[in-house]
Amino acid sequence: QVHFVESGGGLVQPGGSLRLSCTASGIAFSLYSMGWYRQTPGQERELVASITNGGSTKYVADSVKGRFTISRDNARKTGSLQMNNLKPEDTAVYYCNTVPRLPDIPWGQGTQVTVSS
């Protein structure tokens, strides 16, 4: 079955950096665009970054532009999100998944990112 596993989250001070990783299973990973979503309590998941299947085109939300960089390694079926100059408002659970979402591909557990002094 298709699933994604996220890792790399943690507690970091404002201005710090984290690198999130995502591993995919049960999917022809290289055929799909993928992205990172985040969610805070009481809010809907939002897409913060995406990358096309070959990595040629990237999208980064305005709120994280210049700070977050998305990448992927199709051979390893992994995706990454490099997060620099983190801000408290970046605090959320981060998930990876296809972009757009597909009905037969569930959400993983996500990884918690907390930015606090």
Give the pLDDT of residue 113.
98
Give the pLDDT of residue 4.
96
Give the pLDDT of residue 39.
98
Give the pLDDT of residue 95.
98
pLDDT band with cut points at 50, 70 and 90 for residue 66: very high
**33 secondary structure, DSSP code:** -
Q: Which sign, positive or negative, has the C-alpha torsion 38, 73, 15, 7?
A: positive
Indicate the average pLDDT of the chain: 97
Q: Looking at residues 59-86, what average pLDDT do you find?
A: 98
